[in-house]
């Protein structure tokens, strides 16, 4: 029966709710199907491993497919710990991962991330060595994105933003690597810098997001913290 | 304290408690704070938080209540300033993760340095819409359609102990159920001029 006035919308409401329910059901089914498909894909990859390795066209299509459906090719193994791909592809995938991590954490650490943090927090579950990282970063550095490996007090740090660190900034990061933070008085005593120099370099590093300020100390002096401290406190 | 809050490593990072001057860093900082609040509230089923950041944590075994201020880390002796806390509330409100007790928009001013003591917010680790869907799903799943069900039954009945909305404060439930009424799926019933029950069709 046809309804008139406001009552006519009641049916619409019911139809709307039913469609909503159907959508939910469909999503559920699709998720399930996708799960099965992913399983099959890994099976397929294992079976055709040799061909994936030897045929570049097939390989790129396969990788593309993996990406589309949300499978991490780094997680595909042949056997227990042998990766599916030959070393080059592996490094290639790794370098993409590194770029992603740097992008995601850029606002937190100003584009500086230590190798320890990469290995201990992000690549903890994967069998990745420092050598792999160096190789992967080498690969992306050809892209001119400003990726560079720095050495501060013996620890390797990856810089992913194109602005060059000055000598003074590097010195401050060295101080931070010991205490976790730096301050004007700390720099004056240890590096014999003038007050103005300490202040201006520190402020500059806050502006570029490399250091975080902490104004709640008992010494009544501003402390400047290196966010790398967060990852370090995890491993201690 | 017997209740375990899961506080990430960054919670021990002293500058997290000082408002950062760099804007993109500060956004990340606020995002970090919101994450800490939402994860812990969800894990311990903490529904309300005061404007200062006080949360009541109830020990599931002893029922003992401890008050914990999320914005004050006694271990490292750092706390967030009222201005910064307000900034966090504002962002949460914008993202629909915070609700005033009466369901109205909060009046948060960034200029004011003081926080009134009596104000309390609901923390929404799921959006109101999502909660509404989950409760509707429960009505359908447990064949409670076309029956009058009291608010008390929904959130306090022992049968619902394992439901995500168990122990939810009734005024918050009321805000969520209003969505179902708006969708035309339910009518609410009053007792002594206060809504106390709902019928979902």
CATH number of the domain encompassing residue B54: 1.10.10.570
Q: pLDDT per residue over A137-168, tens digit each?
A: 888 877 777 788 888 877 888 888 777 788 89
**Domain count of the fold of chain B:** 2
Quickly tell me which residue has 């001013």 as its tokens. B109
pLDDT at residue B106, as a whole number: 63
**Average of per-residue pLDDT across A85-108:** 79
CB pairs < 8 Å spanning A and B: 61
Which burial class, exposed, middle or buried, applies to A23 when counting CB atoms under 10 A from its CB (0-12, 13-18, 19+)? exposed
B3 part of a folded domain: no
Question: Is pLDDT at B180 greater than 50 in this prediction?
Answer: yes
pLDDT at residue A84, as a whole number: 59
Of A84, A103, A137, the residue that ends a domain is A84
Structure tokens given for B121? 């917010």
Which burial class, exposed, middle or buried, applies to B92 when counting CB atoms under 10 A from its CB (0-12, 13-18, 19+)? buried
Quickly tell me which residue has 């720099």 as its tokens. A187
Q: pLDDT per residue over B84-93, tens digit each?
A: 999 999 999 9
A224 part of a folded domain: yes
A216 touches chain B (CB under 8 A): yes
Q: Closest approach of chain B CAs to the CA of A209, in angstroms?
A: 6
Which of A107, A110, A213 minimises the CB distance to B15? A213
* Terminal Cα-to-Cα distance of chain A (whole angstroms): 73
Q: Closest approach of chain A CAs to the CA of B9, in angstroms?
A: 6
pLDDT band at residue A211, thresholds of 50, 70 and 90? very high
Q: Supply the DSSP string of chain A, one letter for each residue.
A: ----GGGHHHHHHHHHHHHHHHHHHHHHHHHHHHHHHHHHHHHHHHHTHHHHHH-HHHHHHHHHHHHHHT--GGG-EETTTEESS-HHHHHHHHHHHHHHHHHHHHHHHTTEEEHHHIIIIISTTS---HHHHHHHHHHHHTTTS--EEEEETTEEEEE-SSSPPPHHHHHHHHHHHHHSEE-HHHHHHHH---HHHHHHHHHHHHHTTS-EEE---TTSS-EEE-THHHHHHHH-
pLDDT band at residue B58, thresholds of 50, 70 and 90? confident
Question: Could you tell me the residue range of the domain that residue A134 belongs to?
Answer: 89-159
Task: Give the Cα separation of B77 and B73 in Å (integer).
Answer: 6
Q: Closest approach of chain B CAs to the CA of A53, in angstroms?
A: 41
Contact B89, B108 (CB under 8 A): yes
Which of A209, A217, A231 minimises the CB distance to B22? A209
Which chain B residues are Cβ-neighbours of A205 within 8 angstroms?
A: none
Asked if A234 and B9 come within 8 Å (Cβ–Cβ), the reply is: yes
Same domain, B102 and B179: no
pLDDT at residue A217, as a whole number: 85
Describe chain B by its helix, strand, coil percentages, rounded to 5.
Answer: 40, 20, 40
pLDDT band at residue B125, thresholds of 50, 70 and 90? very high
B4 part of a folded domain: no
A8 touches chain B (CB under 8 A): no
CATH of the domain at A139: 1.10.10.10
Task: Give the Cα separation of A96 and A73 in Å (integer).
Answer: 11
Contact B90, B62 (CB under 8 A): no
In a mutational test of the A interface, the residue from B22, B28, B78 whose CB has the highest number of chain A CBs within 10 Å is B22
Give the ipTM. 0.79
| Whole-prediction pTM | 0.71
Same domain, B135 and B119: no
Going by C-alpha positions, the residue among B73, B8, B75 that lies closest to residue A227 is B8
B21 part of a folded domain: yes
**Average of per-residue pLDDT across A213-220:** 86
pLDDT at residue B1, as a whole number: 43
pLDDT at residue A117, as a whole number: 86
Which residues, including other chains, have CB under 8 Å from residue B33's CB and lie 6 or more apart? Answer: B16, B80, B88
Structure tokens given for B157? 């009945």
Quickly tell me which residue has 């050598």 as its tokens. A131
**Average of per-residue pLDDT across B110-124:** 66
Asked if B25 and A13 come within 8 Å (Cβ–Cβ), the reply is: no
Residue, of B130 and A95, whose pLDDT is higher: B130
Which of A107, A215, A225 minimises the CB distance to B13? A225
B25 touches chain A (CB under 8 A): yes
Question: Is pLDDT at B133 greater than 80 in this prediction?
Answer: yes
Which of A10, A212, A223 minimises the CB distance to B184? A10
Q: Closest approach of chain B CAs to the CA of A64, in angstroms?
A: 32
Same domain, B75 and B155: no
Task: Give the Cα separation of A217 and A180 in Å (integer).
Answer: 14
Residue, of B20 and A144, whose pLDDT is higher: B20
Of B123, B146, B167, the residue that ends a domain is B123
B50 part of a folded domain: yes
A236 touches chain B (CB under 8 A): no
User: B11: which DSSP letter?
Assistant: G
**Average of per-residue pLDDT across B40-67:** 86
**Domain count of the fold of chain A:** 3
Same domain, B58 and B101: yes
pLDDT band at residue B2, thresholds of 50, 70 and 90? very low
Q: What is the mean pLDDT of chain A?
A: 81
Which of B18, B25, B185 minimises the CB distance to A209? B25
């Amino acid at each position: 029966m046809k309804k008139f006035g406001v009552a006519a919308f009641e049916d619409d409401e019911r139809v709307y709710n039913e469609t909503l329910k159907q959508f939910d059901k469909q999503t559920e089914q699709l998720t399930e199907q996708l799960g099965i498909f992913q399983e099959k894909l890994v099976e397929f990859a294992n079976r055709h491993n040799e061909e994936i390795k030897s045929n570049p066209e097939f390989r790129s299509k396969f990788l593309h497919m993996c990406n589309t459906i949300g499978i991490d090719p780094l997680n595909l193994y042949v056997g227990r710990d042998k990766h599916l791909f030959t070393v080059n592809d592996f490094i290639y995938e790794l370098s993409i991962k590194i770029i992603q991590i740097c992008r995601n954490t850029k606002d937190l650490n100003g584009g500086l991330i230590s190798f320890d943090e990469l290995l201990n927090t992000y690549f903890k579950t994967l069998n990745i060595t420092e050598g792999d990282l160096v190789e992967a970063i080498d690969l992306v550095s050809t892209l001119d994105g400003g990726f560079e490996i720095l050495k501060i007090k013996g620890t390797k740090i990856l810089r992913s933003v194109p602005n060059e660190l000055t000598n003074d900034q590097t010195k401050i990061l060295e101080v931070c690597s010991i205490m976790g933070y730096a301050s004007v008085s700390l720099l004056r005593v240890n590096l014999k810098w003038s007050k103005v120099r300490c202040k201006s370099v520190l402020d500059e590093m806050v502006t570029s997001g490399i250091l975080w300020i902490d104004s709640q100390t008992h010494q009544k002096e501003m402390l400047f913290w290196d966010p790398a401290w967060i990852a370090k406190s995890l491993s201690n | 304290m017997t209740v375990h809050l899961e506080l990430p490593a960054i919670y021990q990072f002293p500058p997290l408690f000082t408002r950062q001057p760099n804007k993109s860093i500060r956004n990340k900082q606020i995002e970090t704070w919101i994450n800490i609040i939402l994860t812990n509230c969800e894990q311990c089923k903490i529904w309300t938080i005061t404007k200062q950041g006080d949360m009541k944590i109830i020990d599931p075994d002893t029922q003992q209540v401890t008050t914990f201020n999320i914005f004050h880390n006694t271990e490292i002796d750092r706390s967030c300033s009222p201005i910064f806390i307000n900034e966090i509330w504002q962002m949460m409100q914008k993202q629909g993760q915070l609700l005033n007790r009466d369901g109205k928009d909060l009046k948060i001013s960034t200029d004011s340095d003081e926080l009134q003591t009596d104000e309390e917010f609901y923390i929404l680790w799921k959006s109101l819409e999502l909660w509404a869907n989950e409760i509707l799903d429960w009505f359908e799943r447990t064949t409670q359609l076309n029956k009058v069900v009291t608010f008390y039954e929904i959130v306090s009945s022992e049968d619902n102990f394992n439901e995500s909305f168990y122990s939810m404060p009734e005024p918050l439930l009321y805000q969520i159920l209003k969505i179902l009424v708006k969708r035309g799926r339910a009518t609410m019933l009053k007792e002594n001029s206060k809504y106390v029950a709902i019928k979902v069709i």
